[in-house]
Amino acid sequence: MSYSPKTSSKFNRIAKKFPKKLKTALDDQVRSICEDPHLGKMKMGDLAGVRVHKFSFFSQLYLIAYEVDQDSEIILIHAVGGQENFYRDLKQYLRS
């Protein structure tokens, strides 16, 4: 069963600034998340219900935050970015 991705405005705003090769790698990661939604690690506390998938691109670690909607088979992708301040920014985004 394959899920369909739905991206947030925050994700789109960040991803459009990425270089072309990184965008391609990001697309591959989103595709693999849609094939296996349990790929990312489930978070607890303030980020309960959110999963985070980590991947490396040219020795730089990137994180993708997403939620899985089992009923409508949609992956809601919230954010992508480097490790620094990722969780702090994600909490602020989810609160608003």
Q: Is residue 5 classed as helix, strand or coil in its secondary structure? A: strand
- Token pair, residue 25, equals 């790698």
Domain 4-95 grouped into CATH 3.30.2310.20: yes
Q: What is the mean pLDDT of the chain?
A: 93
- Would you say residue 1 has pLDDT above 80? no
Q: How far apart are CA 49 and CA 43, in angstroms?
A: 7
Nearest partner of 53 among 74, 84, 77, judged by Cα: 77
Confidence of residue 14 (pLDDT cuts 50, 70, 90): very high
- Contact residues for 21 (Cβ-Cβ < 8 A; gap 6+): 57
> Global pTM?
0.92
